[in-house]
Amino acid sequence: MKVNLIYFTQTGNTRRIARAMAEVFREAGWDTRTLSLKKVTVQDAVEADLLGVGSPCFSSQAPAPIKNFLRNLPPLPDKKAFVFATSGTAPGRVLYDLYTLLNTKNADVVGGFLARGMVHHPAPCLYGRLPDRPNDEDFLQARQFAAELVRHMNSGFTGKVAGSRADTFKLRYGFYDFVALISSDAVLRWLMPKPKLNLKRCNQCRWCEFECPVHNIALDPYPTVGTACIRCYRCVNGCPQKAYSVNWKLANLVVYAFYNKTFTGWFGT
């Protein structure tokens, strides 16, 4: 059994969940690889007997880079697949997005798993929620889900894997499904502030150019953020020189209006 786990990650949370699952698959004797979206090829998806696709949750949905990758895959008729995600606030339709895109390629998506992860979004009202997640319990649950996948595949069962989240396969039409629906990349560019570069701090190391998940930063001669920015703030969070900043005065209120702890507690499970 050849298993490829393809993941998009910003801060490492989703990668760590992928690796926890991979341990179980390897213990079962399966040939397993974990593959970052930055280095993956279409062939990596095509050649797998079992394909896992994972991502973080952006604005209660799957982020643009992983969705674009899935849209560009060839047909995967009856390919066994599963999806997984990490979320620090309200997962909304993140699993459903991944499932739907694989389903349009005729893949047989047998399960979906969600883990919690610390929020690294730099909006002051969000940053730092769910500290130290994913934790040992999250990794245990990821391994248990992987063990269910092993049993499912070895048994030849049809249908869905035990322990899969129901919102993988069907929208709940809840509050955060609506938030995801209106939070297109264009809307986020309009609502959320664009990262700004401090030239005095920048040493032109090109880290941001390489790490931008939509290849939207180029040196000219200093980094310039282009018009395709999806407001993921990878440049802000990860710049080794702390050269990027964001003015959150108004946008923080917008984020708080949708993702305050009361709303995420009520509607964000």
Domain boundaries, the chain: 2-177, 184-267
Q: Say how many C-beta atoms besides its own lie within 10 A of residue 225's C-beta.
A: 17
| Identity of residue 8 | F
pLDDT of residue 226: 95
7 near 38, Cβ under 8 Å?
no
Predicted structure pTM score: 0.95
CA–CA separation, 167 and 153 (whole Å): 22
Chain centroid to Cα 167, Å, comes to 16
Residue 130 tokens read as 């769910």
pLDDT of residue 157: 82
Buried b or exposed e, range 140-176, using 16+ CB within 10 angstroms: ebbbebbbbbbebbeeeeeebbeebbebbbeeeebbb
Q: Backbone phi, then psi, for 260, in 5-degree steps?
A: -70, 160
Chain centroid to Cα 65, Å, comes to 9
Out of 3.90.226.10, 3.40.50.300, 3.40.50.360, 3.40.50.1860, which CATH number does the structure's domain 2-177 have?
3.40.50.360
pLDDT of residue 156: 85
Q: Say how many C-beta atoms besides its own lie within 10 A of residue 209's C-beta.
A: 16
At 172 the three-state DSSP class reads coil
CA–CA separation, 75 and 56 (whole Å): 24
Buried b or exposed e, range 48-85, using 16+ CB within 10 angstroms: bebbbbbbbbbbbbbbbbbbebbeebeebeebbbbbbb
Q: DSSP labels for 155-218?
A: HT--SPPTT--GGGTS----HHHHHHHH--HHHHHHHSPPPEE-TTT-----HHHHH-TT--EE
Over its length of 269 residues, how does the chain's per-residue pLDDT go in tens digits? 999 999 999 999 999 999 999 999 999 999 999 999 999 999 999 999 999 999 999 999 999 999 999 999 999 998 999 999 999 999 999 999 999 999 999 999 999 999 999 999 999 999 999 999 999 999 999 999 999 999 999 998 888 999 999 999 999 999 999 999 999 999 999 999 999 999 999 999 999 999 999 999 999 999 999 999 999 999 999 999 999 999 999 999 999 999 999 999 999 88
70 near 6, Cβ under 8 Å?
no
* Fold entry, domain 184-267: Alpha-Beta Plaits (3.30.70)
Sign of CA dihedral 262, 130, 10, 86: negative
